[in-house]
Amino acid sequence: MTEITTSPQLLHLVFGGELESLDGVTFKDIAGLDIVGIYPNYASAFAAWKGRAQQTVDNAHMRYFIVHLHRLLDPDATPNPVG
């Protein structure tokens, strides 16, 4: 019998928007933030982040971020070194 192992679900949020200044992380328009999606692991979140960031490379004020939702949901959990 084959054993199926599943990796733990480590949710990540990818979002971005245009910054007011290159020196900070204050968005020009909170209502206009681009919520790319929520992903089950860092690898898929990174792929989504990279794709969206590359689409906006011509705008220096545009930034995308990966938020480790799993760390917010369970802050006492052991940190995961890969994301």
Q: Write out pLDDT tens, residues 25-52.
A: 999 999 999 999 999 999 999 999 999 9
* Mean pLDDT, rounded, for 6-24: 92
pLDDT the model gives residue 73: 87
pLDDT the model gives residue 81: 55
* Mean pLDDT, rounded, for 54-63: 95
- CATH architecture of the domain 12-73 equals 2-Layer Sandwich (3.30)
With a cut of 80, say whether residue 78 has pLDDT above it.
no
Rounded distance between C-alpha atoms, residue 77 and residue 83, angstroms? 13
With a cut of 90, say whether residue 83 has pLDDT above it.
no
Buried b (16+ CB within 10 A) or exposed e, 13-38: bbbbbbbeeeeeeebeeeeeeeebee
With a cut of 90, say whether residue 20 has pLDDT above it.
yes
